[in-house]
Amino acid sequence: MSLSVGIVGLPNVGKSTLFNAITESAKAQAANYPFCTIEPNVGVVEVPDRRLYEIARLERSKKITPTFIEFVDIAGLVRNASQGEGLGNQFLAHIREVDAIAMVLRCFEDPDIVHIEGSVDPVRDAQIIDLELIAKDLETVSKRLEKVEKMARIGDKKAKEELEKLSMLREILEGMEPVRRRELAQDVREYAERVLFLLTIKPVLYVANVDEEGLKGNEHLEKVMGYARNEKAPVVAICAKLEAELVSLPAQDRKELLLAYGLEEPGLNRLVREAYKLLGLITFFTAGEKEARAWTIKRGTKAPQAAGKIHSDFERGFIAAEVINYEDYIKVGSISKAKEMGLVRLEGRDYQIKDGDIVYFRFNV
């Protein structure tokens, strides 16, 4: 499953610094990632999950394989990008290819770093980005409308149904509102996502880039949190400069630097986890003496399809899944003990895998 998050922002907000930190983190993890070569503009980052390492310790697994998520560095945006200003066309094309957006907003003052808009205002910056995405979506919807209206006039039934959806989406966009903020019927949402590939339908995570002193009591951060609350979007406060420094240090020095700032873990960990949740992803585990491994699936995935993540034969010949959730597992400390105590359940093909499930698939091909 190749799901990606695009890192988006205006110039001089810290987007490149943040991505460089992610890329350095990705390099550190590259040996564990067996599926692709990391391109310069893509950071393939481990999803931090202590559960996997605890399972591996208790099962004495010889190998640990985490799950990963992709972050894509997207060209900086300026006003009128939708009309081709700056690298507008490249920016918008790249957003179309990602599954979610991490919108980096500057939440720090620094007279030595000029803001393209002349002042620091993260809410204004978010609105600039949204307005450019809205303008491009309006262009997409308008072009489609011209074609569909002609078909509807000659009595095409499907065209008439599509016309209703397009009219609804145009009304939202003409009100200068991103489509993602509206509650839509499932068929309309799927149409916007899979037929029109609208930019403003994509889920957004706000990344408030603060300075070393700005993680608390930051007026700009408070504004971002208020703005995000309107669409129930997650906010991650992160100091990109600090993150870039952390990834360049040995492990012990990282711990000391984090403690100095009163932090338990790097902000990148929180960013990755929130992005993972934003995409509607969950993790299940397989474990044994040879390997403990995390697997990524969409929430709601049924057992046979989850088995197919491991191997197509597992899905094709699926019989049942032996399941214990991590919370129950950790109380007894091993899968063998859990089986002895009758805590491992046998689930059929309609079972939806839950986050934290440890699973052994029975199959026959």
- The binding site comprises 12-17
DSSP H/E element including 347 = strand 345-347
Neighbours of 307 (CB within 10 A): 27
Give the burial string for 42-53 (b: 16+ CB within 10 Å, else e). bbbbbbbbebbe
From the annotation, which residues make up the binding site for ATP? 12-17
Neighbours of 181 (CB within 10 A): 14
Burial classification of residue 89, based on how many CB atoms lie within 10 Å of its CB (0-12 exposed, 13-18 middle, 19 or more buried) = middle
Q: How far is CA 164 from the centre of its chain?
A: 31
C-alpha torsion sign, points 5, 9, 12, 14: negative
**Can you read off the two tokens belonging to residue 240?**
């990109």
Burial classification of residue 232, based on how many CB atoms lie within 10 Å of its CB (0-12 exposed, 13-18 middle, 19 or more buried) = exposed
Give the pairing of strands 4-8 and 318-325. unpaired
Q: How far is CA 246 from the centre of its chain?
A: 22
DSSP H/E element including 360 = strand 357-363
Q: How far apart are CA 209 and CA 204, in angstroms?
A: 15
Q: Reduced to 3 states, what is the DSSP secondary structure of residue 231?
A: coil
Contact assessment for residue 241 and residue 21, using Cβ atoms and an 8 Å cutoff: no
User: SS3 helix, strand, coil % of the chain, rounded to 5?
Assistant: 45, 20, 35
Q: Reduced to 3 states, what is the DSSP secondary structure of residue 297?
A: strand
Q: How far apart are CA 294 and CA 51, in angstroms?
A: 9
Contact assessment for residue 80 and residue 139, using Cβ atoms and an 8 Å cutoff: no
